Amino acid sequence: MNTNVTIAPGTSVVTAGAAVQISDMTGAVDLGALPARFLQHATAEGLAETPVPGVKMFRVDSQTPRAPCIYEPCVIVILQGEKRGYFGTHAFEYGASTYTVFSVLIPMEAEIISASPEKPFLGLALSIDPAAIADLQMRIEDAPMPAPKAAGSIAVSPVDATMSDALHRLVATFDHEPDARVLGPMIVREIFYRVLSEHKGIVLSAAASRHSHYHRICQLLRQLQEDCSVNYSTAEMASIANMSKTSLHESFKSITAMTPLQYLKSIRLHQARLLMLGEGMSASAAAYRVGYASASQFSREFKRLFGLSPRLDMQREGVEPRA
């Protein structure tokens, strides 16, 4: 059974150490004309680059059903609309005037529950650079302590007045490419500073800490992402993380809501789907590329995760496999 978490003003319903951390939403502010200004640039549906390095924008004009997705380490700011995420046993809703920190590569499920052509679902995705976050931590007086083993990996917080001001200035740089190149990165750094300054910034700072179980798991996750075709055993993953198998399982699940082997399987399937839809690779070739020895096993597990066979999924997306 899912633990349902609804973000509403004045609530704080997930405690520190949970997989998903929700802040009190009392300080959330109305974004005013920001969505309208954003729409001048987000003229079509989908995910698109902005003139600011490391910042993407997205627009969706209709509700979407619950489906598997994957988030790279980033901060997602919702400007308009509402979304529901499913992470392990947690279900949580987040909408306009909130931002969500995804501190590690996270496979989960999500659905857009409020969007229309008249009022699209809008937002920004700011990529997390661990080195930049670590540098900011060193410069912040009374910086958060290294995170405990069960810091979680997703945190949702309100956009307050100071962050709203930064977001308005960030979107304004989209109008002038020189401003975007020069001022944009400075404003992004300011936004990350604001995130780190908040209590839930511990989820972000944990990823940059070099002295915690969290950091060891983050290093392991990066290796699994880069070498997902390797058939790592639990013992090998524990050795890479320099942890016992018991400690690995406990820490890994608190961060990803999965066991190490479940996570590796999910990463493989998402990567294979990206190869199929993005590069037109055949299902069998994609399966082999990500480490599957059996095409039939790959097809079964793909359908279990995505709801369609690889062939039907490619047909639905209008992709023809390469010969």
Task: Read off the pLDDT of residues 34-73 as tens digits, 9 standing for 90 and up.
Answer: 999 999 999 999 999 999 999 999 999 999 999 999 999 9
214 touches 205 (CB < 8 A) = no
Structure tokens at 315: 């047909």
Judgement on whether residues 160 and 275 belong to the same structural domain of the protein? no
Per mean pLDDT, which range of 96-100, 171-175, 204-208 is the poorest? Answer: 204-208
Please give the pLDDT value at position 177.
Answer: 95
Please give the pLDDT value at position 210.
Answer: 60
Please give the pLDDT value at position 103.
Answer: 87
Domain end residue (candidates: 208, 243, 266): 208
Judgement on whether residues 126 and 245 belong to the same structural domain of the protein? no
Judgement on whether residues 132 and 54 belong to the same structural domain of the protein? yes
Please give the pLDDT value at position 13.
Answer: 36
CA dist list (Å): 134 to 128, 146, 150, 153, 156? 11, 11, 20, 17, 21
Residue at 229 is within a domain: no
Domain end residue (candidates: 173, 191, 208): 208
| pLDDT confidence band for 211 (50 / 70 / 90) | low
Structure tokens at 247: 């400690």
| pLDDT confidence band for 4 (50 / 70 / 90) | very low
Please give the pLDDT value at position 99.
Answer: 95
Work out the average pLDDT over 102-116: 93
Residue at 224 is within a domain: no
Strands (E) located in the chain: 3-6, 20-22, 46-49, 55-60, 67-71, 74-80, 82-87, 90-95, 98-102, 106-114, 121-127, 154-158
Judgement on whether residues 153 and 17 belong to the same structural domain of the protein? yes
Judgement on whether residues 106 and 57 belong to the same structural domain of the protein? yes
Radius of gyration (C-alpha) of the chain in whole angstroms: 20
* Residue with tokens 């990823």, as numbered in its chain: 207
Give the total number of structural domains in the chain. Answer: 2
Judgement on whether residues 173 and 39 belong to the same structural domain of the protein? yes
Position with higher pLDDT, 103 vs 111: 111
Judgement on whether residues 45 and 194 belong to the same structural domain of the protein? yes
Residue at 295 is within a domain: yes
pLDDT tens-digit readout, 261-290: 999 999 999 999 999 998 999 999 999 999
Domain around 247:
235-323
Residue at 167 is within a domain: yes
Model confidence at 304: pLDDT above 80: yes
Judgement on whether residues 240 and 189 belong to the same structural domain of the protein? no
C-alpha to C-alpha distance for 71 and 270, rounded to whole angstroms: 11
Residue at 226 is within a domain: no
Residue at 219 is within a domain: no
Residue at 31 is within a domain: yes
Model confidence at 15: pLDDT above 90: no
Judgement on whether residues 158 and 294 belong to the same structural domain of the protein? no
Judgement on whether residues 113 and 253 belong to the same structural domain of the protein? no
Helix residue ranges, H only, 174-259: 177-197, 201-208, 213-226, 234-240, 245-256
Please give the pLDDT value at position 168.
Answer: 98
**Of 248, 77, 90, 274, the residue nearest 164 (C-alpha):** 77
Residue at 215 is within a domain: no
Judgement on whether residues 51 and 115 belong to the same structural domain of the protein? yes
Please give the pLDDT value at position 12.
Answer: 34
Judgement on whether residues 36 and 149 belong to the same structural domain of the protein? yes
CATH classification at residue 283: 1.10.10.60
**Of 157, 159, 163, the residue nearest 188 (C-alpha):** 163
